[in-house]
């Protein structure tokens, strides 16, 4: 790569109105800061950005309040020794309109390439390889794609690519009929031409709005016609119209990829990231055989400030956050234990997320069947929930500040 070719990365983090499916976990922390494998969700794509040569800046774009991200962004800038900035949209501008709104800031280093990542995507973010492929293609943009089962393809943006050149030939967002088993992974790299393409959409829409007489064809398109001129969607407004014009290309990943829409999926993605640590950051994974420290099975993250009794048995797929206390004889399997929670003697937690400052009493069980797609397939305790001794909580969601002294199953406790 030319030493002068700078790269910037933009990570779309959404806003408080977006993470509603993530309740009750999004009540007291913005979804992008929810920990997966012991690190905020948004940190996994940020860590991947560190592998990019000549990375000049990282921008987080969304409509959370600035105070929600101020501390995180400043500590991250220091840790990475790289400017990380949070840019707050005044209102939602759409997935492409958001970066266009901040184009002057994003382009201030005159970057040759701009990565655009979605924060609620879980994958190994093969950014350097994508960039190489993008340069070879010579197009305006390259999209990370993955093959999925034909049954699930219609839940995503489905696309057709040239098998030889990898050019994007056709793109449909959530198609009603089967289009292809290749889907858009929500990870892109563009040249600065992307801003011209977004501007073209806005200008075209403004021009259309000024045409007073509306033909029947335009009346059919009224859904698009009523969008504000500065609201531009990457998929429908940019990818679909530019497919097949030698402007957009694809890069296929064979690795894991998931979308983190629900708390259940966050537990699955935490497991995927813990497994990834085996390759990228083995020092983050806990070890122990039950003599001096707890018996660790499989991939487990334990925050240095957590206190875990050596007779506890932990794993696989467990993430234990800051200041957690795990007492003697506890068994933890496939769970996330959030800051300041306490798991008392001989309690068992399986396929569950234990909220901040919550406690699970002696000989109690908090458990679920582990079906990540089922609404109650993962048990979730919101913040400051108390499960008393000898209580069993199965396949349930408990909202914050509740005390459970009786066993519950298949319930949402409001």
Report the candidate in 114, 101, 106 with the shortest Cα–Cα distance to residue 85: 106
Per-residue pLDDT averaged across 166-171, rounded? Answer: 96
pLDDT at 212: 45
Q: In the CATH scheme, what is the code of domain 7-259? A: 3.90.550.10
* Statement: residue 215 has pLDDT above 80: no
pLDDT at 209: 59
pLDDT digits (tens, 9 = 90+) for 373-384: 888 999 999 999
Location of structure tokens 């800038």: 77
pLDDT band at 2 (very low <50, low <70, confident <90, very high): low
pLDDT at 20: 73
pLDDT at 226: 67
Report the candidate in 347, 340, 386 with the shortest Cα–Cα distance to residue 365: 347
Q: Which helix (H) or strand (E) holds 277?
A: helix 263-280
Distance CA 304, CA 135 (A): 42
14 phi-psi bin (left φ>0, alpha ψ -120 to 50, beta other)? left
* Statement: residue 280 has pLDDT above 80: yes
**7-259 and 263-409, same CATH topology:** no
Per-residue pLDDT averaged across 103-115, rounded? Answer: 96
Q: In the CATH scheme, what is the code of domain 263-409? A: 2.160.10.10
Distance CA 131, CA 192 (A): 14
DSSP string, 182-215: EEEEEEEEE-THHHHHHHHHHHHHHHHHH--S--
Per-residue pLDDT averaged across 114-134, rounded? Answer: 97
Report the candidate in 173, 161, 185 with the shortest Cα–Cα distance to residue 250: 161
Distance CA 259, CA 238 (A): 21
Per-residue pLDDT averaged across 341-357, rounded? Answer: 98
Domain assignments of the chain as residue spans, ordered by start: 7-259, 263-409
Strand partners, 60: 11, 86
| Beta-strand relationship, 157-161 and 182-190 | antiparallel
Of 115-119, 202-206, 209-213, 216-220, where does mean pLDDT reach its minimum?
Answer: 216-220
pLDDT at 219: 47
Q: Which helix (H) or strand (E) holds 121?
A: strand 121-123
Over the chain, what is the mean pLDDT?
92
pLDDT at 267: 96
- pTM reported for the whole predicted model: 0.92
């Amino acid at each position: 790569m030319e030493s002068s070719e700078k790269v910037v990365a933009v990570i779309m983090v959404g806003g408080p109105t977006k993470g509603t499916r993530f309740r009750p976990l999004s009540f007291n922390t913005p979804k992008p800061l929810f920990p997966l494998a012991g690190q905020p969700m948004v940190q996994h794509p940020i860590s991947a950005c560190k592998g990019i040569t000549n990375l000049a800046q990282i921008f987080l774009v969304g409509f959370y309040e600035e105070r929600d991200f101020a501390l995180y962004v400043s500590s991250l800038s220091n840790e990475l020794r790289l400017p990380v900035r949070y840019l707050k949209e005044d209102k939602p501008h759409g997935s492409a309109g958001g970066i266009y709104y901040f184009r002057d800031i994003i382009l201030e280093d005159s970057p040759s390439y701009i990565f655009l990542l979605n924060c609620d995507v879980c994958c190994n973010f093969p950014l350097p390889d994508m960039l190489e492929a993008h340069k070879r293609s010579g197009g305006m943009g390259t999209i990370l794609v993955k093959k999925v089962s034909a049954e699930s393809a219609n839940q995503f943006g489905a696309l057709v690519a040239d098998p030889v050149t990898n050019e994007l030939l056709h793109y449909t967002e959530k198609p009603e009929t089967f289009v292809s088993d290749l889907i858009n992974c929500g990870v892109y790299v563009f040249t600065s031409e992307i801003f011209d393409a977004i501007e073209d959409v806005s200008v075209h829409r403004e021009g259309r709005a000024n045409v007073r007489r509306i033909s029947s064809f335009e009346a059919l398109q009224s859904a698009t016609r009523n969008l504000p001129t500065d609201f531009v969607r990457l998929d429908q407004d940019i990818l679909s119209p530019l497919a097949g014009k030698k402007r957009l290309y694809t890069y296929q990943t064979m690795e894991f990829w998931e979308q983190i829409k629900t708390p259940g999926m966050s537990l699955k993605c935490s497991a995927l990231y813990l497994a990834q640590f085996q390759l990228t950051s083995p020092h983050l994974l806990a070890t122990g055989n039950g003599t001096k420290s707890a018996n660790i099975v499989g991939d487990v993250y334990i925050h240095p400030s957590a206190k875990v009794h050596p007779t506890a048995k932990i794993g696989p797929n467990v993430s234990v956050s800051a200041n957690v206390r795990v007492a003697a004889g506890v068994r933890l399997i496939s769970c996330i234990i959030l800051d300041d929670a306490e798991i008392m003697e001989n309690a068992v937690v399986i396929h569950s997320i234990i909220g901040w400052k919550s406690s699970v009493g002696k000989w109690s069980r908090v458990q679920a069947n582990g079906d990540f797609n089922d609404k109650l397939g993962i048990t979730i305790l919101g913040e400051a929930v108390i499960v008393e001794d000898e209580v069993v909580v199965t396949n349930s969601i408990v909202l914050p500040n509740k005390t459970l002294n009786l066993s519950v199953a298949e319930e949402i406790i409001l």
